[in-house]
A and B are shown apart, each in its own frame.
Chain A
Amino acid sequence: MAQPCVDLALTDEILERYPRAEPSLIQVLQDVQRAYNYLPCDALVKVAETLEVPLAKVFSVSTFYKAFALDPQGETIVKVCTGTACHIRGADMLVEELERQLGVGPDQTTEDFKFTVKTVNCVGACAMAPVVIVGEKYWGSAKPSRVEKYLAEGGRDEN
C-alpha cells in the first residue's frame, strides 16, 4: 500500500528526547507508533540515521515486536483478548462476530480506517474473561450478541 506523506517534525521531536544510540531504539519506535498510529517508512529511515543503527536492524525490530505496525491503523483499535481464560470462555466467537460486523479479520483495517481488529495474547483481565477492548474501553464478560453495542459506543473510556 502506498503510504501517505507524513510530517517528519514529529519524529524529530521524539528523537530529541532520547540519547542517540541503539538502546533508545525501541522506546523511540514506541513513541513514533503512538504519534502516527503506525511506523511510517520515512520515519524509520530518519530513526535509523539519527540513532546510527542500520535500517535493516530498525526494520527487524519493527517487525519483531507486536506493538509496532507498518501500515496505517484504524482510528480505533479493537482488541480481542485470546489468553487462555478468554479462549476457554469463547474468545473465538467474539473474533468471528467482529468479522461479521466489520468485514475484517485480525490484523486488518476497515476500508474507512475506522477500526483495526487485533487479537492479543492476554491483557491480564482474566477474571472478567472473555475481554474485548475498544480503544481504551475494556468490556468484560463480553458476549457476541453485544459486539455491535461495544463498537457503537466507540473507544471513549468514560469509566
Chain B
Amino acid sequence: MRIESRADFAAAQTAARERNAARRQQVLVCCGTGCLASGSKKVAEAFSAEIAARGLDAEVGTFVKTTGCHGFCERGPLVVLQPLGILYTRVKPGQVPRIVEETLIGGEVVPHMLYKNPVNGERVEQYGDVPFYAHQVRVAMRNIGRIDPTDISDALAEGAYEGLARALFDLTPEQVLEEVAVSGQRGRGGAGFNTARKWRSCRDAEGERRFVLCNGDEGDPGAFKDRSIMEGDPHSVLEGMVIGAYAVGAHEGTIYVRDEYPLAVVNLSIAIDQARQHGLLGVNIMGTGFDFDVSISRGGGAFVCGESSALMRSLEGKTGEPRAKYVHSTAKGLFDAPTVLNNVETWAGIGAILAHGGAWFAAMGTDRSKGTKAFSLVGKVKNTGLVELPMGTTLRHIIYDIGGGVAGDRPFKAVQTGGPSGGCIPEQLLDLPVDFEKLTEAGSMMGSGGMIVMDDRTCMVDVARYFLAFLTEESCGKCVPCREGLTQMLQIFDDLCQGRGRPGDLERIERLARAMQLGSLCELGKSAPNPVLSTLRYFRSEYEAHINDRACPAGICRELTAYEISPDVCDGCHVCFTSCPVDAITGTVKELHTIHHDACISCGACFDVCPTGAIRTFPKVELEKEAV
C-alpha cells in the first residue's frame, strides 16, 4: 500500500501493529553475520518446521522471525522467545524440538540453554536481565534484534518513519534543523562534527543539485556497529537520510557500503524497494510533494574511502584520494555540489530525535557529547559484542559490568579505541568517562566505536606495529608525509620487534610522528601516529625493553621470545604436542614434555592450548647467553 497522507501513515502503522499482536508467540532468531556463521539459518528453519508440524502457527499464532544482529555474536545463534522474554544462546537445530515442546508448549524454561553469567556462573532467564543488555540504552540500535529487517511492516509497528512523518507534516526544513541542533548530536563516524551545523552549511551553500550521503565504509578494524545497523534496521538509516534531505533540500542520495558487507547490501536493497512501494522514498513522499531517492554504491575495498573527500571521489568512479579541506564538502562535495555526508549511526539516530524531540536526546550524555554511542566491545573480554550506552559511561563500567571483565581472568592491560586513528588507554585511566573530548585528551579517539580489550599477553609495540602496517598498506600515497612517514616508521618498528632496535629510535619515531601530524593532507595521515604516540606515552618501558634488553615483556614478538615447559607444572596431557605446527615438542602421555629451541618458531600455539599453564616465555637472548 502506498502512503499518500498522514492518515494513510497512521493506518499503515495500526495495521502493522494489529498483525504483530495476532502473533501471540514469537520466536526471534538472530540472523546477523555472526549468528549466520554459527548456523542460525538452520535453527530458524528447524523452528518453522517443528512449529508447522505441531500446528502451533495456526492454533496458537506462533511465528518465527529472523532478525538482525543482537550484538552478542559470540554466544550465537541467539534465540529469544516472546512474550516470555527468554533468551537461549548457542542454540543448535537438534535442540529445537525440545524448546518447542518444553518452552513454547509447556511454558517451562530449559535451564542449561540459558545464558550463563561468566562473572558468577548464574543462569539468566530473561533477555533484559543479561548484564550485557541490562545496562544498555539503545537509540541508533533501537529496533535491531526486534524486527525482521526485510519486512517494512515490522519496522512500522516499532515506530519507524514516525520521525519522518513529524518532519514532513509538522515542521519546515528550518524547524527540522533546529530540532537536530537542540539534540546536540555529533557525527558518529569519528571526527564528531556537529550534525546540525554540517546540514546548515550545506543548506546555505549555493548550488542547483545537492546530495545526501551515508558513509557505510566502516573500515576501522575492530568496529562493526554500522554493519549491524545496516543489516538489522536498514529503515532507520533510510528514514534519517530522507529527513536530512528534507532539511537541506536534496533529492538524491547514496549509501556507500563496504565491499566486505554483502548482507548489508542485500538488506538495504530490500528496504529501499519496500520504502519506495510504501511511498516513503522516491517521488512525492507520503503525498507531501517532497522527492528523494537513494541508491547503493558498493565500495572497492580501500580504508581511505571512509574519509569524506576520498569517498566522494570513489562515488565519481575515481581512485579514492582525499583532497585538501580548505573547501568543505558541504559547499563542494560530490560532483562539486553541496553535500552532506553522515555516518550510518548518525543517520540511524535522526529518526528517533525527530520522533522524541531534540531535548530527549540531549538529556542523555555529557556536557559536550550528547546522546548515546554504539561500541563494538571485542578482543580479550568475556562478553564480546555490540553495546550502546549514554556518552560519559566509564570504560570500567563497559569492560567489567557489561563485558564481564577480561577473558580467562587475565590481568587487564589496555583498551584500544578509535581504530588506526586512535590509541591505547591503560589501566590507570579505566574510570575515564567516554566521550569525544575525554578520549582525545587521553591521546586516543572516539573513531567509529571500536573498543578492543587487551590483556597482559598483548605487546604494545606489536600493536603499534600492527596499526602502522595496516596504514602503510592503506595510505593512498598522494601526500609524502603520510606515504613516506608510515613506511619509515614501520621499518623502525620492524627493527624493534625483531631485536634490531637502536638507541635513539624512540626519538626518531617522535620526530616522524610530529612531521606526519603537521604535514599530512587528510586525517588518515594526521592521526596515523596516534597508536604509536599513545603506546609510547603509557607503555614507554615496554619499548625500552625491546631496545635495551632485546626482550618483549609480553612474550609476543617472536624473534625476542622463547618458550619452555615448567617441569613441576606439566602433567603430560600431550595437548601441546598435538598443537605444535613444527614438531618442536617431544614427550609421551603422562610424561614431562620438552620444547626444542632449535626447531621452535615461537608461535605460541602451545601456550594458548596448555590447560595447566605450564608453558612460560622468556627472552630469547638468555638462550644466546647460555650458549656462550
Q: Which residues of A pack against B, CB within 8 Å?
A: 21-27, 29-30, 53, 57, 60-61, 64-68, 82-90, 93, 96-97, 100, 120-129, 131, 137-140, 144-145, 158-159
**What is the bound-complex CA distance between A68 and B259, given in angstroms?**
11
Contact yes or no, A67 B301, CB < 8 A: yes
**What is the bound-complex CA distance between A92 and B224, given in angstroms?**
21
Contact yes or no, A126 B378, CB < 8 A: yes
Nearest opposing residue in chain A for B377, CB measure = A127
- Least distance between A134 CB and chain B CB atoms (Å): 11
Contact yes or no, A27 B452, CB < 8 A: no
- Least distance between B70 CB and chain A CB atoms (Å): 10
Chain B 433-454, CB-CB to A under 8 Å as 1, else 0, gives 0000000000000000010101
Instruction: Choose among A67, A88, A128 the residue that contacts B259 (Cβ–Cβ < 8 A).
Output: A67
Contact yes or no, A100 B319, CB < 8 A: no
Contact yes or no, A84 B318, CB < 8 A: no
- Least distance between A16 CB and chain B CB atoms (Å): 17
- Least distance between A105 CB and chain B CB atoms (Å): 15
B405 at the interface (CB under 8 A from A): no
Contact yes or no, B224 A125, CB < 8 A: yes
Nearest opposing residue in chain A for B454, CB measure = A88
Instruction: Choose among B71, B452, B474, B605 the residue that contacts A93 (Cβ–Cβ < 8 A).
Output: B605
Instruction: Choose among A96, A127, A137, A140 the residue that contacts B378 (Cβ–Cβ < 8 A).
Output: A127
Which residues of the other chain, B, contact A137 by a CB distance below 8 angstroms?
Answer: 37
Residues B301-350 near A (CB distance < 8 A): 301-303, 314-320
**What is the bound-complex CA distance between A100 and B582, given in angstroms?**
10
Contact yes or no, A88 B379, CB < 8 A: yes
B65 at the interface (CB under 8 A from A): no
Instruction: Choose among B298, B378, B386, B467 the residue that contacts A85 (Cβ–Cβ < 8 A).
Output: B378
- Least distance between B226 CB and chain A CB atoms (Å): 8
How many residues belonging to B are interface residues under a CB distance threshold of 8 Å? 67
Which residues of the other chain, B, contact A139 by a CB distance below 8 angstroms?
Answer: 37
Which residues of the other chain, B, contact A88 by a CB distance below 8 angstroms?
Answer: 379-380, 452, 454, 458, 463
Which residues of the other chain, B, contact A123 by a CB distance below 8 angstroms?
Answer: 33, 260
**What is the bound-complex CA distance between A107 and B452, given in angstroms?**
27
**What is the bound-complex CA distance between A84 and B448, given in angstroms?**
14
Which residues of the other chain, A, contact B605 by a CB distance below 8 angstroms?
Answer: 93, 144
Which residues of the other chain, A, contact B301 by a CB distance below 8 angstroms?
Answer: 65-67
Instruction: Choose among A66, A68, A140 the residue that contacts B37 (Cβ–Cβ < 8 A).
Output: A140
**What is the bound-complex CA distance between A21 and B454, given in angstroms?**
48
Chain B 12-41, CB-CB to A under 8 Å as 1, else 0, gives 000000000000000000000110111111
Contact yes or no, B300 A67, CB < 8 A: yes
- Least distance between B300 CB and chain A CB atoms (Å): 3
Instruction: Choose among B34, B298, B314, B466 the residue that contacts A127 (Cβ–Cβ < 8 A).
Output: B34
If A120-B260, A121-B303, A127-B34 touch, does A64 touch B221 (CB 8 Å cutoff)? no
If A27-B298, A66-B300, A122-B220 touch, does A85 touch B379 (CB 8 Å cutoff)? yes
Which residues of the other chain, B, contact A121 by a CB distance below 8 angstroms?
Answer: 219, 221, 303, 470, 474
Which residues of the other chain, B, contact A144 by a CB distance below 8 angstroms?
Answer: 579, 581, 605
**What is the bound-complex CA distance between A66 and B467, given in angstroms?**
18
Among B72, B303, B319, B463, which residue has the most Cβ atoms of chain A within 10 A?
B319
Contact yes or no, B317 A66, CB < 8 A: no
- Least distance between B402 CB and chain A CB atoms (Å): 13
Which residues of the other chain, A, contact B466 by a CB distance below 8 angstroms?
Answer: 84, 87
Instruction: Choose among A21, A83, A127, A140 the residue that contacts B221 (Cβ–Cβ < 8 A).
Output: A83
**What is the bound-complex CA distance between A9 and B376, given in angstroms?**
45
B74 at the interface (CB under 8 A from A): yes
If A125-B37, A126-B376, A159-B39 touch, does A65 touch B302 (CB 8 Å cutoff)? yes
- Least distance between B574 CB and chain A CB atoms (Å): 13
Which residues of the other chain, B, contact A87 by a CB distance below 8 angstroms?
Answer: 221, 466
Nearest opposing residue in chain A for B601, CB measure = A96
Which residues of the other chain, A, contact B299 by a CB distance below 8 angstroms?
Answer: 65, 67
Instruction: Choose among B34, B314, B316, B476 the residue that contacts A128 (Cβ–Cβ < 8 A).
Output: B34
Contact yes or no, B41 A85, CB < 8 A: no
Nearest opposing residue in chain A for B459, CB measure = A88
Contact yes or no, B378 A23, CB < 8 A: no
Residues B590-610 near A (CB distance < 8 A): 603-605, 608
B181 at the interface (CB under 8 A from A): no
Contact yes or no, B450 A84, CB < 8 A: yes
Task: Give 14 A-B contacts (CB < 8 Å), ordered by A residue.
Answer: A25-B317, A64-B320, A65-B302, A84-B221, A84-B378, A85-B379, A88-B454, A90-B608, A121-B219, A121-B303, A126-B224, A127-B74, A127-B378, A140-B38
Which residues of the other chain, B, contact A65 by a CB distance below 8 angstroms?
Answer: 299-302, 319-320
Which residues of the other chain, B, contact A25 by a CB distance below 8 angstroms?
Answer: 317-318
B222 at the interface (CB under 8 A from A): yes
Residues B276-300 near A (CB distance < 8 A): 297-300
- Least distance between B513 CB and chain A CB atoms (Å): 20
Instruction: Choose among B36, B416, B604 the residue that contacts A138 (Cβ–Cβ < 8 A).
Output: B36
If A83-B222, A124-B218 touch, does A138 touch B33 (CB 8 Å cutoff)? yes
B42 at the interface (CB under 8 A from A): yes
Which residues of the other chain, A, contact B34 by a CB distance below 8 angstroms?
Answer: 125, 127-128, 140
Which residues of the other chain, A, contact B579 by a CB distance below 8 angstroms?
Answer: 144-145
Nearest opposing residue in chain A for B43, CB measure = A159
Which residues of the other chain, B, contact A66 by a CB distance below 8 angstroms?
Answer: 259, 300-302
Which residues of the other chain, B, contact A86 by a CB distance below 8 angstroms?
Answer: 221
Which residues of the other chain, A, contact B260 by a CB distance below 8 angstroms?
Answer: 120, 122-124
Closest 4 CB pairs of A and B: A65-B300, A83-B221, A66-B301, A124-B224
- Least distance between A61 CB and chain B CB atoms (Å): 6
If A30-B300, A88-B463, A96-B581 touch, does A122 touch B315 (CB 8 Å cutoff)? no
- Least distance between B132 CB and chain A CB atoms (Å): 11
Nearest opposing residue in chain B for A133, CB measure = B37
If A84-B379, A88-B380, A145-B579 touch, does A128 touch B300 (CB 8 Å cutoff)? no
Which residues of the other chain, B, contact A24 by a CB distance below 8 angstroms?
Answer: 317
**What is the bound-complex CA distance between A123 and B37, given in angstroms?**
12
Nearest opposing residue in chain B for A158, CB measure = B42
Which residues of the other chain, A, contact B218 by a CB distance below 8 angstroms?
Answer: 124
Contact yes or no, B317 A22, CB < 8 A: yes
Contact yes or no, B298 A61, CB < 8 A: no
**What is the bound-complex CA distance between A63 and B34, given in angstroms?**
31
Contact yes or no, A26 B604, CB < 8 A: no
Which residues of the other chain, A, contact B463 by a CB distance below 8 angstroms?
Answer: 84, 88
Residues B222-260 near A (CB distance < 8 A): 222-224, 227-228, 258-260
**What is the bound-complex CA distance between A27 and B141, given in angstroms?**
30
Chain B 69-107, CB-CB to A under 8 Å as 1, else 0, gives 001111010000000000000000000000000000000
Among A27, A66, A85, A131, which residue has the most Cβ atoms of chain B within 10 A?
A85
Nearest opposing residue in chain B for A23, CB measure = B317
Among B299, B316, B318, B474, which residue has the most Cβ atoms of chain A within 10 A?
B318
Instruction: Choose among A23, A82, A138, A158 the residue that contacts B315 (Cβ–Cβ < 8 A).
Output: A23
